[in-house]
Chain A
Amino acid sequence: MKQTINLTINGKSYSHEVEPRLLLIHYLREVVGLTGAHIGCETSICGACTVEVDGKAVKSCTMFAVQADGSKIVTVEGLAANGSYHPVQQAFWDEHGAQCGFCTPGMIMTVKQILERNPSPTEQEIREGLEGNICRCTGYQHIVNAVKAAAAKMGA
């Protein structure tokens, strides 16, 4: 039986009737049309589906849309403001943090959370912070550089 959910995504209000079993990632991608977050592993390991729900980075493939009813969601599409990229996005570009780009939106959302909680992380803290995100292309080094660059910029 479908249920109505009301939520705010990237500052806009949405209301939809959804099946309880509809995963948040499918809701965002297929109902709302925000395809930035991706499905990478389906087992809550890879983090490609990471979005922010009420200020917390979560894996949207392991959450039902109905659980997000009433929440504020931010996806990678909602980060750029006033025509300029979020510092984390900009750093991923500057430091070549993306190759195939599939993990990138989830990475960016996780990095945003890492830096919100620890504005100047060490390399080790960055690497541990990325435990829930797999990148198969970059070997992580340029991602680590991007996090450092974003931290420097946001702290400045």
Chain B
Amino acid sequence: MIPQPFEYARAKTLKEALAMIADGAKPLAGGMSLTPLMKLRLAAPERVVDIARVPELHYIREESGEIHIGATTIHYEVESSPLLRAKCPLLAETASRIGDIQVRNRGTIGGSAAHADPSADYPAALLALEARICVVGVSGEREIPASQFFVDAFATALEPGEVIREIVVPATGDDTGWSYQKAAQPASGFAIVGIAVRLRKESGRVALARVGVTGVAGKPYRAERVERALEGSAGSAADVQHAAAEAAEGVEASSDLHASADYRKHLARIYTMRALTTALSRIA
């Protein structure tokens, strides 16, 4: 499996990278999405700009109650970051479920988000966290809420010439429960269903419920019906079961060799129940 020829340049700065991207070069960071497609010759960019070592894109830092993650931060760094494990454990847990050690050593959060694979793990967590995707192009920067970023299968709100600069997630406290639960496709490890949950309770009631769903449909989505059903409830087992039943309502589910649409929808309900239950149990 050998890709078609292409030109390659490594950007040293973000500015340099943006100029090349504006000029039509395809950004390459870890290459866990793009390189396999190039090897299959399903993708054949003429020019590639390597942004993996652009220093302005590589960091995890906390600023005023939010955590900023540079686009080229690899999954392993997210998974093992003490900051994220303490203050945004949902994202760390999700990262730890992506692919395998080697993939997590190369793949980047920005690359995964930009590729918008409908079976990728991160989008579920980004939706549940109400993350903001900060994108930058030669003409400037803008922020896109995760809920508007994932437009369709492999399609994002990124405009030509734009690249993800960072992803911003809220720092959560002990009052927040979280869980990422996944049914993995047995061969590829991609999510047949992946459910990310973030919950907060106030005086015995679920004050906030956010549920991100990946793998089920052509694009990741927020299971808002589940959220509405749970918010305000005590979060009892019955509440969870009742809410989880809505996980795939009104969704046109995907179907493939590994899982039919029916089964996907069923798994969405079961895994939502499990993720909600785990998340509730984790509230301190």
Contact = CB atoms under 8 A, between A and B. Distances in A.
Contact of A131 (B36, B101, B105): B101
B100 interface: yes
A113 B104 CA distance: 12
Contacts, number: 82
Given A42-B1, A43-B36, A63-B35, A1 B7 contact: yes
Interface residues of B, number: 31
Interface in A99-121: 110, 113-114, 117
A59 interface: yes
A69 B28 CA distance: 15
Interface in B64-108: 76, 80, 99-103, 105-106
Nearest to B1: A42
A140 interface: no
Interface in A9-45: 19-21, 23, 42-45
A66 interface: yes
Name which of A3, A62, A66 has the most chain B CB atoms within 10 A of its CB: A62
B105 A57 contact: yes
B5 A19 contact: yes
Contact of A66 (B4, B50, B100): B50
Contacts of B38: 21
B170 interface: no
Interface in A118-152: 129, 131-133
Contact of B6 (A21, A47, A131): A21
A91 interface: no
A114 B3 CA distance: 31
A59 B103 contact: yes
Given A21-B3, A21-B6, A63-B31, A132 B102 contact: yes
A63 B10 CA distance: 14
B8 A132 contact: no
A61 B10 CA distance: 20
A139 B32 CA distance: 27
Contacts of A47: 100, 102
A21 B47 CA distance: 11
A74 interface: no
A72 interface: no
A7 B114 CA distance: 30
A50 B5 CA distance: 24
A21 B36 contact: no
A86 interface: no
A20 B7 contact: yes
B228 interface: no
A117 B80 CA distance: 10
A114 B4 CA distance: 34
A45 B187 contact: yes
B101 A64 contact: no
Contacts of B189: 131
Interface in B1-52: 1-8, 10, 28, 31-32, 35-36, 38-39, 48, 50, 52
Name which of B36, B39, B100, B187 has the most chain A CB atoms within 10 A of its CB: B100
Contacts of B8: 3, 20, 64, 66
16 contacts: A3-B8, A21-B3, A43-B1, A44-B32, A44-B36, A47-B100, A56-B76, A62-B31, A62-B39, A64-B8, A67-B52, A69-B10, A110-B102, A129-B101, A131-B101, A131-B189
Given A1-B7, A21-B4, A43-B36, 17 more contacts: A19-B5, A20-B8, A43-B1, A44-B102, A56-B105, A57-B101, A59-B102, A59-B106, A62-B35, A62-B106, A63-B106, A67-B52, A69-B10, A110-B101, A110-B102, A114-B101, A131-B189
The 8 A-B pairs at the shortest CB distance, nearest first, are namely A132-B100, A20-B8, A131-B100, A56-B105, A42-B1, A132-B102, A59-B102, A21-B3
Interface of A: 1, 3, 19-21, 23, 42-45, 47, 50, 56-59, 61-64, 66-67, 69, 110, 113-114, 117, 129, 131-133
